[in-house]
Amino acid sequence: MTTLLVVIVVLALVFDYINGFHDAANSIATIVSTKVLTPFQAVMWAAAFNFIAFFIFSEHHVANTVAKVVNEEYITLRVVLSGLVAAITWNLLTWWYGIPSSSSHTLIGGFAGAALAGAGFDIGSINLEKIGLIAVFIFLAPLVGMVISIFITLVTIIQKLWLRLLLIAISTAVTAIFVIKNNDLKIGLVVFSLIFMIAYAWDMTRQPSAQRTANLYKRLQLLSSAAFSIGHGGNDAQKVMGIIMVALVAGGQKESLNDMPNWVPLACYTAIGLGTLSGGWKIIKTMGTRITKVTPLEGVCAESAGAMTLYMTEQTGIPVSTTHTITGAIIGVGATKRLSAVRWGVTLQLMWAWILTIPVSAVLACIAYWVCGFFDIV
């Protein structure tokens, strides 16, 4: 393995680490804002379940998609290096200013931008079909998260216990049979739903109390945040796996993108878990309080909806943003109270960051590519 290839692999894991603390807010913002866990407890909780994703996601659908964003004949180590430098730069800038941008789209934009620079801006160097699908899901992922969170919230606040349990059972069965293909996730979904159904039934047998119900949802939020953290780890770590595999193929260490050595997923899940331990305190405030105030009940609904969205998109190999997904879910629970409960000004600012991430990352990657050329880094 050449020195340049080693540097690229290390930078990819550095990006994964940064992704962890940049996106830690996605997993823990609501659970911190509702005071279910302290920030330190929350990052420990999220980091543990980020790593547990290693044992659940084995087919790496998202990694395969990311690896194919650039057409193989245009991939060089210089392209991969430039894309990573651009992605790390933009991630650190947005983290510093507390902007919840997408690490996923940063990486994809950087990779595609570097390839364009290397090919003399030949549009044939990039896979427009893959990039177009990813671009569509910049808005579709939060929309799906919002719709699911509205549904979960409306079901959760139904007063008739039998109707609430029936709707949970039907939606769980439909999702497990027709949507989720991963057997581990199917089992997890069924167990998750059963725990909620038992908790709801048990709560209804007791003397009604607002404080008692709030405490119940605080406990359930531990489960929902764990589910979202697994989705975050499974979705985001795979993007770096794809980049590392591209580098290994370009560096002559592997013949095929499908020939992934075991150390790649293990290193990526470890890096994102360690990054989550570092936290992303500036972004937590935006995600947990500025979009809308979140109660424990709403935190459960938002995190459950976000987790479900991530599981569905992972099955289809679509690299979505966990930031966008949880933002849409939080907006959904806020909208069930009243539309004015959502701070739409903050939401619009976030959307501008979403729109700009891919093109800005691509421009930074072009600059990085030219700088590498100036210093004869090939």
User: CA-based angle 32:37:41, to the nearest 5?
Assistant: 105
pLDDT of 26 reads: 66
**Residue-level length of the chain:** 378
* Whether pLDDT at 369 is above 70: yes
Return the minimum-mean-pLDDT range out of 128-137, 209-218, 354-363: 209-218
pLDDT band at 342 (very low <50, low <70, confident <90, very high): low
In the chain, the percentage of residues whose pLDDT exceeds 70 is 91
> Would you list the DSSP string of 280-299?
-HHHHHIIIIIS----HHHH
State phi, psi for 234 to the nearest 5 degrees.
-65, -35
Question: Measured between alpha carbons, how far is 64 from 317 in angstroms, rounded to an integer?
Answer: 7
What is the number of structural domains in the chain?
Answer: 1
* Whether pLDDT at 102 is above 80: yes
* Whether pLDDT at 291 is above 70: no
pLDDT of 334 reads: 80
Bridge partner residues of 126 (DSSP): 70
Question: Measured between alpha carbons, how far is 104 from 240 in angstroms, rounded to an integer?
Answer: 9
Q: Which of 36-50, 119-133, 279-293 has the highest mean pLDDT?
A: 119-133
Average pLDDT over every residue of 312-326: 89
Question: Measured between alpha carbons, how far is 32 from 280 in angstroms, rounded to an integer?
Answer: 12
Bridge partner residues of 70 (DSSP): 126
What would the two tokens of residue 67 be?
């690896």
Average pLDDT over every residue of 200-213: 80
* Contacts (Cβ under 8 Å, ≥6 apart) of 246: 67, 70, 75, 80, 111, 257
Stretch (H or E) spanning 114 = helix 103-118
Question: Which residue range forms the structural domain that includes residue 172?
Answer: 3-374
Q: Which amino acid is at 300?
A: V
Question: Measured between alpha carbons, how far is 136 from 193 in angstroms, rounded to an integer?
Answer: 30
Return the minimum-mean-pLDDT range out of 99-103, 109-113, 305-309, 347-351: 347-351
Q: Using alpha carbons, select from 334, 330, 335, 277 the residue that is nearest to residue 303.
A: 330
> Would you list the DSSP string of 214-242?
HHHHHHHHHHHHHHHHHHHHHHHHHHHHH
Q: Could you tell me the CA-to-CA distances from 131 to 112, 127, 160, 204 in Å, in that order?
A: 9, 6, 45, 49
Q: Which amino acid is at 43?
A: V
Question: Measured between alpha carbons, how far is 305 from 198 in angstroms, rounded to an integer?
Answer: 20
Helix (H, G, I), strand (E, B) or coil at 126: strand
Look at 293 and 66; give whichever has higher pLDDT: 66
Q: Which residues of 93-111 are buried (b: 16+ CB within 10 A; e: fewer)?
A: ebbeebbbbbbbbbbbbbb
* Whether pLDDT at 290 is above 60: no
Q: Which amino acid is at 46?
A: A
| Residue-averaged pLDDT of the chain | 87
Provide the sign of the torsion angle of the four alpha carbons 11, 13, 16, 21, taken in this order: negative
Return the minimum-mean-pLDDT range out of 74-83, 195-204, 340-349: 340-349
* Whether pLDDT at 272 is above 80: yes
CA Rg, the chain, in Å?
Answer: 21
Q: Using alpha carbons, select from 313, 323, 320, 321 the residue that is nearest to residue 288.
A: 323
